[in-house]
Amino acid sequence: MKLYVSPGACSMSCHIAFEEAKLPFEAMISQTEEVQKLNPMGAVPTLVMNDGKVLTQNIAILTYAANQPTGTHLLPKAGTFEYAKAYQWLSFVASDLHPSFSPLFNPATPEEQRKAAVERVIDLFNIADAALKDSKYIAGNEFTIADAYLFTVYGWSAHVKLDTSSFTHLNAFKARVFERPAVQAVMKREGLLK
């Protein structure tokens, strides 16, 4: 399988999930032209299976990784409340948090809009921070694919110069996830760590 990613982009969540699940894959880093041909949205993550089939969208690719025999530890048992809870947080990151960053990455965003986007991101961080008060990971005490996605998006704060010092629980979470061997390996591969 070939997993197309860009360094530090949302695709890093899938890269982490593939590494955590010890799947046989090749990381295709910054292959923009290839991605344009493979994915009508021209976006990463894009996964190409060995038979040439293409899968896109973070949640789909994360779910694929967690449903492989070596990746089942990345989600609670299907059908349980805990499983649905992991999807609650996956949806939170994909539908609420991730898009809220878009105006902050666009240098043409007017100041008023930028301020509103910062407020929205801070509100969402407060929600995640509160949820992490009593658990090690966002959907409980076990690492799931929702954590891979939250860790990735929370990491964008530094790039857009958001002050995150007040998010005690999110910062403890970030440090915890950062220490995971799979995360270290992925960040090195993406050129984000020495």
CB-based contact 170:129 (threshold 8 Å): yes
Amino acid symbol at 117 = A
Smallest distance from the beta carbon of 105 to ligand GSH, in angstroms? Answer: 9
Cα torsion 93, 20, 24, 72: sign: negative
Residues 25-54 that bind ligand GSH (CB under 6 A): 42-45
Smallest distance from the beta carbon of 114 to ligand GSH, in angstroms? Answer: 19
* CB neighbour list of residue 2: distance below 8 Å, 6 or more residues apart: 25, 26, 28, 47, 48
Answer for which of 3, 10, 93, 170 binds ligand GSH (CB under 6 A) is: 10
Binding mask 59-98 for ligand GSH (x = CB under 6 A): -----------------------------------x----
CB-based contact 101:125 (threshold 8 Å): no
User: What is the chain's alpha carbon radius of gyration, rounded to the nearest angstrom?
Assistant: 16
Q: Is 9 an interacting residue with respect to ligand GSH (CB under 6 A)?
A: yes
Smallest distance from the beta carbon of 55 to ligand GSH, in angstroms? Answer: 10
Using CB under 6 A as the criterion, which residues of the chain lie in contact with ligand GSH when the complex forms? 9-10, 42-45, 57-58, 94
